[in-house]
Amino acid sequence: MPKSRKRRPKRSRRDDRISQRRAHQPLPDAETYARDIALLQAADEAERRGDAMEALATMAAHPDALGFWRPWRIRALGQLAMFGPLLPRWATSRWILAQALQHLGEPGGAPTRRAQRALDQAIELRGGRARLPGKDPIDAVCRVMDHDWAFRQLHLYELGGLRYFLDRAACPDLVAGADRIRDWARSPMGGFRLLARDAATVTWQDLGRGDPVRTANIGSATLVVPGECVIGRMVPIEAGMMFESAPLVVPEDLAVGVALDPVSWLDALRATPGGTTSPELIPAGDGAGLLSDVPVRVWLPAVCEAGGLTDLASVPTPEQLATATLTVARAALGGSWRPEAEDLDPWPCLAAALLTQPIAEALLRTVVAADREVLGRLGELLAEPAASWCRRLADPLPEAA
């Protein structure tokens, strides 16, 4: 196995501020609390109906409710609202996963027994409550439920959270628009080796069967290099197979063991020194990603640095980011751009930027005829849905003079 590159993405200060606000938010009065619970229920109900725009409108009506909305939830809803007709059906499947994961009990109430069991086991894998990072015990538990790879797998799959959500909570129309989501609920854990990747695809070896498996390059291998191994759930879609979310980079022997005995994955992590805090276990991408598994803290610095946005004292505008994205695209197509971290795959980073709602909206306002060729080439190279979005941007543009 290649040497570990110790590339566990750093937790951003913004993430810390969000957790701190959640943990130290002053208790609201009864009227405000009732309003906040009603807003949460209204947003959840809109999502269960498959109405991303209504969920966003509910959040925008009272942005101060509870002090925050989870940023990845707003990001996903914005993408669904903006790119809806261009999205493959697996995007709806992943949206359902996100909803099932936040379906942990009644708003304001105690977690369900399922969620509590998943939480207890995930905390055990991290060495116990005393070893959890956080501002206080509430913040520490929230971090596990929001970000822990094992908690997600346990709650959704081993303990049946996804099946329960499909059967008891999701509206039939939402489920009907998904891509084989009931098959996802039955999909086992697996072990895979990264073989190769290009702009559009990633090729893995199934360590159980020995067969190659090709997936779209949406960033599920962002923090993996060829030869390294992962564990994760490979699920069926109309176009073939994909990971239901970013997998976990693990030692080869662990990946082989899980491939040969999928139900053993939890015991395999328990047997790893340090459990899921081991430096040998690294999430291969953003576990909360919808259209891309590349973490924002990975693609954003890479695009800014290559696009000339190096003033760290100021926050770039969407228009500046759109210009930088096209600059990076030209460099990538010309073979002259590689991210500063040499192992980082540039293509899903570029796709992640293109599919970020503020950047996408800025591109609609700013692309010109001179951008038509680069967008057309990206539309031929990138994985979906980034490819369709590039073609959508290019089609109305006239030929450059």
Q: What is the pLDDT of residues 281-294, one digit of tens each?
A: 999 999 999 999 99
Same domain? 175 vs 126: yes
Establish if 196 belongs to a structural domain: yes
Token digits for 360?
Answer: 């996408």
> Does one domain contain both 50 and 154?
yes
Is position 358 within any domain?
Answer: yes
Give CA–CA dist 175/100, Å, rounded.
12
pLDDT digits (tens, 9 = 90+) for 39-56: 889 999 999 999 999 999
Domain containing 310: what range? 296-394
Co-location of 44 and 154 in the same domain: yes
Residue 69's pLDDT is what? 84
Residues 125, 259 share a domain = no
CATH code, domain with 256: 2.40.50.140
Query: Is 291 a domain residue?
Result: no
Kindly state whether residue 5 falls inside one of the protein's structural domains: no
- Assess whether 175 and 191 both reside in one domain: no
Q: Are residues 18 and 120 in the same domain?
A: yes
Confidence of residue 172 (pLDDT cuts 50, 70, 90): very high
Residues 226 and 307 occupy one common structural domain: no
Question: Is a pLDDT exceeding 60 seen at residue 157?
Answer: yes
In the chain, the number of structural domains is 3
Tell me: do 97 and 114 sit in the same domain. Answer: yes
| pLDDT band at residue 304 using 50, 70 and 90 as cut-offs | very high
**Last residue of a domain, which of 135, 165, 181?**
181
My answer on whether 274 and 388 are in the same domain is: no
Any domain includes 50:
yes
R_g over Cα of the chain: 21
User: Which among 83, 104, 232, 87 is positioned nearest to 159, based on CA atoms?
Assistant: 104
Same domain, 42 and 122: yes
State whether 242 and 332 are in the same domain: no
Identify the band that residue 401 occupies on the pLDDT scale cut at 50, 70 and 90: low
Mean pLDDT for 129-136 is: 87
Within 13 A of 209's CA, how many CA atoms are on the CB side?
6
Other CB atoms within 10 Å distance of the CB of residue 383: 24
Query: 95, 80 in Cβ contact below 8 A?
Result: yes
What's the pTM value of the predicted model, to 2 decimals? 0.90
| Residue that finishes a domain, picked among 181, 200, 229 | 181
Q: Which of 394, 318, 309, 382 is nearest to 356 (CA)?
A: 318
Same structural domain for residues 61 and 148? yes
CA distance 296 to 275: 26
